[in-house]
């Protein structure tokens, strides 16, 4: 997927005001509209600048796009950086312009959630404020125990100069025990203000987990790769294993092979029912970095001839 420089497509600088962007769009629309233009590839250019305008005309999407930085060049191979939009607050979920399918994969990867278009009120009108959406990162342990966290969210508004400006607000949020990745936490009345006497909208926080040093999560199930010594795997052993709720005694059955999963029922993320914790066994070999270690390996090879490639029909010379 190629990076798209929307400012370059529109022919404006990154510091352009919203009025300057609007004027550039109108000029390009007259030049490249397929019904009237005789320019080469007019239809392609018209589609590209329509996509660019969809992002740059909207202060929220523009500010989020700007988070990617100015070092990307048009045509570079692109994948959205991990958590590029974390904590960024969008009205209507972040996509305010209709059908994303008519735009590129680049647009889809950033903004193509297909949310509804922002509504505008009229003088004298009373209406509920819009719901807003943001993605937040929490620790896996918060899902096990529940927690109260101060989360800082960023939102965008137009400044007096017509350029988008990012503002921050910090909210105290209760993380419920058992929250899953992808689940939404609803904060009543923390969305956009209402129109007239209308109530404020709600804020929906989409939960994702911070990358963990030793665990990974699938639904409510949690996985841990646990190294064991060859003799522990071959002969069986009782060893200590970490879990998100503390250490446990784990019985490794004799003859355990690398990749075997040992299930600890109900020790995944809490819920109804709770998830499970899977211990994935990895056999770790001692290093032969001493003469004694090398001698031990030679003795082992002599006393226990073993060809792990025998099932492939391969024999050693």
* Residue 303, both tokens: 């006393």
Quickly list DSSP for 182-225: T-EEEETT-SSPPBTTPPP--EEEEEEEPP-SSEEEETTEEEEE
Q: Are 46 and 32 in contact (CB under 8 A)?
A: yes
Q: Cα(44)–Cα(41) distance, rounded to whole angstroms? A: 5
Q: What is the pLDDT of residues 259-312, one digit of tens each?
A: 999 999 999 999 999 999 999 999 999 999 999 999 999 999 899 888 888 888
**Statement: residue 161 has pLDDT above 80:** no
Q: Under 8 Å CB-to-CB from 53, ≥6 apart: which residues?
A: 10, 21, 25
Q: What is the pLDDT of residue 316?
A: 67
**Statement: residue 70 has pLDDT above 90:** no
Q: Set out the domains of the chain in order of their start, with CATH numbers.
A: 215-303 (2.60.260.20)
Q: Cα(282)–Cα(262) distance, rounded to whole angstroms? A: 11
What are residue 172's phi and psi, to 5 degrees? -90, 120
Of residues 12 and 160, the one with the higher pLDDT is: 12
Instruction: List Cβ<8 Å contacts ≥24 apart for 82-86.
Output: 83/135, 83/137, 83/208, 85/110, 85/135, 86/135, 86/136, 86/137, 86/208
Q: What is the pLDDT of residue 159?
A: 72
Per-residue pLDDT band at 44 (split at 50, 70, 90): confident
**Nearest Cα residue to 242 out of 260, 261, 227:** 227
Instruction: Measure CA of the first residue to CA of the last residue in the chain; give whole Å.
Output: 48
Alpha-carbon distances of 197 from 11, 124, 157, 211, 228, rounded to whole Å:
42, 10, 22, 43, 65
Q: What is the pLDDT of residues 31-42, one digit of tens each?
A: 888 777 777 888
Q: What is the pLDDT of residues 183-229, one digit of tens each?
A: 999 999 888 887 667 788 888 999 999 999 999 999 999 999 999 99
Q: What is the pLDDT of residues 226-242, one digit of tens each?
A: 999 999 999 999 999 99
Residues paired with 173 in a beta bridge: 149
The mean pLDDT of the chain is 84
Q: Cα(96)–Cα(274) distance, rounded to whole angstroms? A: 37
Apex 155 CA angle, 157 and 153, nearest 5: 160
**Statement: residue 115 has pLDDT above 60:** no
Element (H, E) at 15: none
Q: Cα(79)–Cα(86) distance, rounded to whole angstroms? A: 16
Q: What is the pLDDT of residue 91?
A: 64
Q: Cα(45)–Cα(2) distance, rounded to whole angstroms? A: 16
Per-residue pLDDT band at 107 (split at 50, 70, 90): confident
Q: What is the pLDDT of residue 75?
A: 81
Q: Are 85 and 61 in contact (CB under 8 A)?
A: no
What are residue 162's phi and psi, to 5 degrees? 80, 10
Quickly list DSSP for 39-83: STTHHHHHHHHHHHHHHHTSHHHHHHHHTT-S---TT-B--PPTT
| CA 104, 110, 114, 118 torsion-angle sign | negative
Per-residue pLDDT band at 97 (split at 50, 70, 90): very low
What are residue 237's phi and psi, to 5 degrees? -165, 160
Element (H, E) at 263: strand 261-264
């Amino acid at each position: 997927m190629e990076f798209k420089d929307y400012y370059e497509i529109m022919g404006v600088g990154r510091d352009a005001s919203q009025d300057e962007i609007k004027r550039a769009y109108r000029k390009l629309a007259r030049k490249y509209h397929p019904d009237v233009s005789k320019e080469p590839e007019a239809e392609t250019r018209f589609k590209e600048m329509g996509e660019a305008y969809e992002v740059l005309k909207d202060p929220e999407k523009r500010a989020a796009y700007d988070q990617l930085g100015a070092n990307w060049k048009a045509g570079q191979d692109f994948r959205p950086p991990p958590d590029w939009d974390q904590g960024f607050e969008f009205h209507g979920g972040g996509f305010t312009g209709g059908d994303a399918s008519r735009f590129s994969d680049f647009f889809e990867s950033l903004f193509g959630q297909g949310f509804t278009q922002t509504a505008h009120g009229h003088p004298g009108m009373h209406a509920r404020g819009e719901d807003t959406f943001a993605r937040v990162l929490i620790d896996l342990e918060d899902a096990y125990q529940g927690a109260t966290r101060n989360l800082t969210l960023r939102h965008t508004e137009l400044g007096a100069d017509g350029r988008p400006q990012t503002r921050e607000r910090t909210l105290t949020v209760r993380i419920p025990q058992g929250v899953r990745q992808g689940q939404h936490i609803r904060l009543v009345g923390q969305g956009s203000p209402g129109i007239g006497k209308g109530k404020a909208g709600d804020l929906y926080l989409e939960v994702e987990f911070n990358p963990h040093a030793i665990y990974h999560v699938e639904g409510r199930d949690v996985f841990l790769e646990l190294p064991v010594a060859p003799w522990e795997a071959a002969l069986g052993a009782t060893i200590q294993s970490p879990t998100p709720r503390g250490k446990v005694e784990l019985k490794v059955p004799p003859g355990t092979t690398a990749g075997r999963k040992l299930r600890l029922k109900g020790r995944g993320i809490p819920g109804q029912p709770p998830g499970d914790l899977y211990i994935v066994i990895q056999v770790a070999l001692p290093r032969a970095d001493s003469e004694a270690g090398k001698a031990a390996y030679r003795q082992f090879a002599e006393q226990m001839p073993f060809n792990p490639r025998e099932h492939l029909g391969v024999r050693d010379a």
